[in-house]
Amino acid sequence: MLHQGIKYVHAAVLAFSAVLAFLFVRGLDEDWVLGHSALVWVSESDHSSSGEQVVRAIESFAAKHGVTVARELPDLRDPHQHRHLYLAAGNPGSDAASWLAKGYPAFGRDYHTDVHPIAEFGQRDPRGFYYVFGSPGAGDALLAMFADLGLRGQVNHPLSVSELTPVYSDGALFWSFLVVALAAVTLTGASVLLSAKTYGALRLQGKSFAELLLRDLRQLGRFWAIAAGTVTAAALLFLGSYNGLAWLGLYASVTAGIAGLLILVVLAAHAAALALTCRIEVLRALKGELPARLATVCAYLVRAPALLLALSIATTVVLAAQDVLARQDSRDAYAKAGDATAILLNGSLGPETAEMEVQVGQWLRKADAHGQIIVAGRRELQDIAPGSNLPQGEILIVNETFLAEQPILDPMGRRYGPAPRDEKARGAGPVRIIVPESLNRYASTVTAEIPGLLSPHDPERIRPTDMKTFRARSGQRVFGYDPGSHTRSTGANPDQDRSMVRNPVLVVVPNGSKYLTDNAYTAFATQGGVVFSDPDDVLDGVKAHKLQTYVKAMSPIGQNAALELRRVVNDFRMQLFNLGMAVAVLLITGVGVCIVYSRKNAQAIFVKHISGWRFAAAHRSVLAGEALLAILLAVWVPFDVWHENQELERYTARGIPAPSSPVQITTLDISLTFGLIAVEVSAVLLALAVFHRRIVKERATEA
C-alpha cells in the first residue's frame, strides 16, 4: 500500500490548484475583460476623424472580420469597481456578442461591468483601450484601420503567458505556488523514504525499480479518480452558487495547468526518492536503513532554499502586517474626509499631454482660488537637495484649505490656520514653510530649495521675500489624503500605506496663487494630491471647462482606502499561509535529516551513549550541518544588502542618479533572521533528542 502521506500530498495539490485558480481568474477578471484575444491601446490622434466616424469604422470592421470589438471606459463615479463596455458585434453568434442581451458574465462579485452598444459611445474621444474578441490577428488589423483614421497606438495581449508572467512573478499567488511545490516535494520524498521497509520487501520478491514505480502509479490512479472527482464536485457546487459557473472553461484550464505542473513535480520527487531507496541492499532495506549520504544531500538541497524563501516571506508578512495596521489606523481620517474625491486623468493622450496639463491646471487653479480643493502634493525630503545630507522624510506642498482641515501645531501648541487674505487679492500672500523643530538645522537648506521645488523651470520668480519660515511641534502625524504610493518611499516598502505622514515639512501655498504652475497642479492631481471636498464640483467643473477628454473618472478617497485595506488584508492572509508552508518544509526536512541519520547510525549512537559521550559530541555531524545552514542564513541578508548597494554605486559611477537610496540592514532583518535560525535549530535539536532517546531505549531493551 502507498504511504498515506503520498495520498495526502496529491489530494492537497488538487485542492490547492482549485483554490489558486479561483484567486487567479478572479484577479484577471478585475484587471481585464476576460475572453479577449488582443487589446489595442490608442494613445495618439491627429483629430482628422470624429468620434462618430470612429464608431462607424469599428462597426464596419467588426462585421467584415467577424469579430467583436469593445471600447472600455471606467465609471465616472466608481472607477475602481465599475466599468462600461461599448460593443460592436460582428459575429452575432459569439459569446461576446451575447453580452449585449445577457450582460457580462463576471467571474467575481466585486467588480461590475455594464455593456452598451457601441453606437452609444457617441462623440467621446476615441483614444483609449479596445478589446478584440475573435482572431488574434484581428488586433493588428484593427490597429491598421485606426492608422487610416489618424489614430496611432499599439497591440498587446494581456492574457498571454509572456505578458502575465512579469505581472504575477513576484505576487503572493506565485509565492504560494512555489512554497506548495516545495512542501509537496518534501512530503512526497519523506513519505517514500519512510516506506523503505515496504519497498525492501517488494524488492525481495523480485520487483525492479520500474515495477515499483508502476505499482505506485496504478494505486495513485485509483486514488486520483476519487480525489479529482471530489474536488471537481466541490468546485462546481461552489462556482454554481458564487457566479453561476461563469468562465468555467477558463477556470478549468487554469486549474488543470496548475495541477499538472504540481503533479509532475511531485511524481519526479516520488521517482527520485524511490530510486534512493533502491540503492540500499535488500536486507538492509528490510531493516529500514536509508542511503544516508544521498538522502541527506537531497534534504539540504531542499532545506537551504526553503530557509531563504522562509526569510523572504517572513519579511513580507511583517511588512504586510504593518501595512494593515497603518491602513486601519488611517480609516478614521478617511471617514472624516467624507465624500472627498480625487480625479483620474486620461493616460492615453500622447503628445497632447502638455495641452492637458495646461487646461486641467488652469481649472484646478480656479477651483483652488474658490476653496473647492485640498492640495497635498508630496515629495521626498532627500530628493529636493541631493548631496545635502537631508534626513529621510517628506515634504507636503499644501494650500490654505489643507490647513483649515488638518491641525498643524506650533511648538507652543497653537494651531496654524489659513492666512487672512483680502478677497480681492487672492493668492497674494507669502509661501509659508513650516519645519518641525527636530529639523531646525536643515531649515535653511530646505528653504533655499523651495523656489526650484515649486517652479522648477523658473525658480527665480519666487523671491526670498515671498517665503516665510515657521516652526512646528515635532512628532506630529499629518493626514496626507493619499497612501503616497505614487512617490518613492526611501527606506520603506513603496506599497505600504503612507496616508499618515510623520514629521513632514509643510510648504503652504496661498489658494490659487502664482507660485504653483499649471503643470504642478496637474502633476499633483495625477499623483492623487488634489482632492475635491464636494464631488459635484468635479462634475460641474469638467462640464463648464469642457474637460471630458482629460478627466476620465472621479476617485472617492474613502472608498479607495477601504478597497486597498481589503486588498492588503487578503495579501497578508495569503503570505501568512505561504510562511506557514515554508516553515513546515523546514520542520519536515529537519526531521527528515534526523530520521536518515538516526537509522544509519543507530548502533554507533547507542555505543557513544553508553560510553559517556556528550550529546553534542555524539551528533556533531548533524549539528555541524545545521550550524553551516545557520551561518548561511546569517550572512545572506548582509550579502544581499551589499549586492544591492553595489548595483546602486554603478549608477553613481556612470553619473546617473540612483533609483533609490542605499539599503541598510534594519532591526527587522536581524530579528527575522535570528528568529528563523532559532526555529530551524530548535526543530532539529528536538527531533534529534527524540530519536536519540528512542534508540537508547530500544537498544537497552534488546540488551
Residue 147 host element (H or E) = helix 138-148
Q: Cell 551561518 identifies what position?
A: 631
Q: Does residue 487 register a pLDDT over 50?
A: no
Residue 307 host element (H or E) = helix 292-329
Gap between the Cα atoms of 86 and 104, Å rounded: 12
Grid cell locating 141: 488589423
- Which band of pLDDT confidence, cut at 50, 70 and 90, is reported for residue 683? confident
Residue 121: CA count within 13 A, CB half-sphere: 31
Q: Does residue 699 register a pLDDT over 90?
A: no
Least confidently predicted of 108-117, 472-481, 569-578, 660-669: 660-669
Name residue 89's beta-bridge partners. 68
Q: Does residue 426 register a pLDDT over 70?
A: no
Amino acid type, 521: Y
Check residue 472 and give its pLDDT. 95
Gap between the Cα atoms of 143 and 442, Å rounded: 54
What's the pTM? 0.83
Average pLDDT over residues 366-385: 91
- For the chain, how big is the Rg over CA atoms in Å? 32
Give the largest CA-CA distance in the chain: 106
239 vs 639, more confident: 239
Residue 432 CB neighbour total at 10 angstroms = 19
**Contact status, residue 302 vs residue 494, Cβ threshold 8 Å:** no
Gap between the Cα atoms of 576 and 583, Å rounded: 11
- Which band of pLDDT confidence, cut at 50, 70 and 90, is reported for residue 310? confident
Check residue 281 and give its pLDDT. 76
256-300 tens-digit pLDDT = 999 999 999 999 999 998 988 887 778 776 766 666 666 677 777
In sequence order, the 6+-apart residues with CB closer than 8 A to the CB of 315 are 668, 669, 672
Q: Does residue 657 register a pLDDT over 60?
A: no
Gap between the Cα atoms of 571 and 692, Å rounded: 42
CA-to-CA separations, 264 to 259, 452, 657, in angstroms, rounded: 8, 60, 46
323 vs 239, more confident: 239
Q: Cell 550529546 identifies what position?
A: 615
Spell out the domain ranges in the chain. Answer: 1-32+160-280, 33-158, 347-549
CA 605 to chain centre: 49
Gap between the Cα atoms of 215 and 199, Å rounded: 11
Q: Does residue 490 register a pLDDT over 50?
A: no
Check residue 492 and give its pLDDT. 42
Check residue 423 and give its pLDDT. 44
607-629 tens-digit pLDDT = 888 888 998 888 888 888 888 88
Q: Cell 537498544 identifies what position?
A: 699
Gap between the Cα atoms of 69 and 60, Å rounded: 11
Average pLDDT over residues 372-401: 89
CATH number of 33-158: 3.30.1240
Question: Looking at beta carbons, which pairs linking 489-496 to residues 24 or more positions away fall under 8 Å?
Answer: 490/380, 490/382, 490/392, 490/660, 490/661, 491/392, 491/661, 491/664, 493/319, 493/323, 495/323, 496/319, 496/322, 496/323, 496/326
Q: Does residue 198 register a pLDDT over 90?
A: no
Average pLDDT over residues 508-514: 91
Average pLDDT over residues 337-362: 89
Q: What number of residues does the chain have?
A: 703
Gap between the Cα atoms of 644 and 267, Å rounded: 38
Q: Which of 504, 510, 509, 430 is nearest to 472 (CA)?
A: 504
- Which band of pLDDT confidence, cut at 50, 70 and 90, is reported for residue 544? very high
669 vs 393, more confident: 393
Check residue 583 and give its pLDDT. 86
6-56 tens-digit pLDDT = 898 999 999 999 999 999 999 999 999 999 999 999 999 888 888 889 999
Least confidently predicted of 232-246, 338-352, 489-503: 489-503
Share of residues in the chain with pLDDT > 70 (%):
93
428 vs 133, more confident: 133
Q: Which of 630, 605, 609, 608 is nearest to 684 (CA)?
A: 630
Check residue 199 and give its pLDDT. 85
Q: Does residue 428 register a pLDDT over 80?
A: no
Provide the edge-to-edge strand list for the sheet that holds 530-532.
467-472, 431-436, 505-509, 394-399, 373-380, 530-532, 341-345, 551-556
Gap between the Cα atoms of 499 and 329, Å rounded: 9
Q: Does residue 388 register a pLDDT over 80?
A: no
Average pLDDT over residues 177-202: 86
- Output the average pLDDT for the chain: 87
**Contact status, residue 25 vs residue 109, Cβ threshold 8 Å:** no
Q: Does residue 112 register a pLDDT over 90?
A: yes
Share of residues in the chain with pLDDT > 90 (%):
46
498 vs 471, more confident: 471
Q: Does residue 499 register a pLDDT over 70?
A: yes
Gap between the Cα atoms of 181 and 231, Å rounded: 19
Average pLDDT over residues 670-675: 86
Phi, psi of 107, rounded to the nearest 5 degrees? -80, -40
201-257 tens-digit pLDDT = 888 888 899 999 999 999 999 899 999 999 999 999 999 999 999 999 999 999 999
Q: Does residue 384 register a pLDDT over 80?
A: yes
